[in-house]
Amino acid sequence: MKNTIVAKFGGTSVANADAMQNSANIVLSNPNVRVVVLSASAGVTNLLVELADGCDQEKRHYVIDEIRRIQYNILDTLHQPNVLRDEIDRMLENITMLSEAAALATSPALTDELVSHGELMSTLLFVELLRQRDVNAEWFDVRKIMRTNDRFGRAEPDTHALYELAQQQLVPRTQEAIIITQGFIGSEAKGRTTTLGRGGSDYTAALLGEALNAARVDIWTDVPGIYTTDPRIVPAARRISEIGFSEAAEMATFGAKVLHPATLLPAVRSDIPVFVGSSKDPSAGGTLVCNKTEQPPLFRALALRRKQTLMTLHSLNMLHARGFLAEVFGILARHNISVDLITTSEVSIALTLDTTGSCTSGASLLTTSLLTELSSLCRVEVEENLALVALIGNKLSSACGVGKEVFGVMEPFNIRMICYGASSHNLCFLVPGENAENVVRALHSNLFE
């Protein structure tokens, strides 16, 4: 499997028949692409999540019709759609049945079962589209090999089991055909469907790349690579042609939408380069994420993450006391919450929680039971609608003059929190959500233009 490429296509790359044809052209342009991982067609996952949250009959009919319309628009361009139409109709019936159950009572397991249908349908359509171009393509249910725990909505894969099953079931098939499979979904020990969290298709591709000892993982999306910041915020943003794993992982973690934060972990572990390009315009080039780059710059990029929550915990018991932080983190761990940034003073701790993309349903992390448990220990203050701006670079904590370069520009803005020094690759600060884009523009203008 030394030359094998795993190619992943996001929702916009399989949104309609034309987008699927473009993606098929990319797959067929490189004979080393043997495994293709697909997201659901654009918009379908959000509609399925809406059904999983439970809604009345009228709304259910409307949402299911909308899903049917998106899939039928692709189906109707195929020459012999009848067999496939039966299969898609069977899935739509499943969706109807599960959405009726969700209207009575929702659960994370039911949500995952429902949401998985997006990927199952897009892969069926893509296989048929390739076969009509006389390509030997095979549909493969990733749940046969993607074993996970039962943390529905944000399941964690068992990489050892995945490796063994992929070697047994996937490797022989790639010799015969191009394998088309699903991103984002897996199955737990009892065979119930799980999901890897929003954006998990990238993660699936990297995990399969690792399990197959692939030469490269290609992530095809709607932008030609990784930029110095989001070009929708700063039109002058420049594409980065090559970037190191550590920098790209920081960018992904701190909100760069191009890659899912966990994507790079399997790639870093196994030293597999990841290419990011645009399926709409493959000739535009892209960004290669690899182990090391020549002469990495001091300032590489700016990332923005919205919808951040700042939780400040005050307690005089912290003063010269031991074990207070351990107790706080014990409570957060029991509620499955991971802390992002943290600063401390003598009698208080401030920590940020990333409430975006935490699980499939996007439900709030700050439950009443969590706040009650914390309140028994200390006074809790919560601020929401903040934004995290991260400056990504190299050797930032040992370079001189970084503070002046950055904070001189920040003079007109209120900064709620700063984290600097824990990593040589980032400098992070929290600002009010309404200032976020102006902060990014000001910093980009000063540091990159």
Q: Which segments are annotated as binding site for ATP?
A: 8-11, 221-222, 227, 232, 257-258
Amino acid at 155: A
Cβ atoms < 10 Å from Cβ of 144: 15
Q: Which of 292, 293, 275 is nearest to 284 (CA)?
A: 275
Residues annotated in a binding site for substrate: 45, 119
Token couple for 143: 């749940």
Residues annotated in a binding site: 8-11, 45, 119, 221-222, 227, 232, 257-258
What separation in angstroms does the CA of 236 have from each of 233, 247, 286? 9, 21, 17
Alpha carbon distance 121, 88 (integer Å): 7
Token couple for 295: 């002469």
What's the first-to-final CA gap in the chain, in angstroms?
A: 43
Cβ(394)–Cβ(292) below 8 Å: no
Cβ-Cβ contacts under 8 Å for 140 (sequence gap 6 or more): 170, 173, 179, 180, 181
What separation in angstroms does the CA of 381 have from each of 311, 313, 321, 377? 6, 6, 21, 13
Regarding beta strands 417-420 and 348-354, do their DSSP bridges make them parallel or antiparallel, or are they unpaired?
Answer: unpaired
**Sheet with 417-420, edge to edge strand ranges:** 342-344, 348-354, 299-314, 379-393, 426-432, 417-420
Cβ(37)–Cβ(203) below 8 Å: no
Token couple for 123: 């892969």
Q: Which of 51, 70, 45, 300 is nearest to 195 (CA)?
A: 45
Query: Residue 334: helix, strand or coil by DSSP?
Result: helix
Alpha carbon distance 156, 333 (integer Å): 16
Alpha carbon distance 37, 208 (integer Å): 9
Cβ(185)–Cβ(244) below 8 Å: no
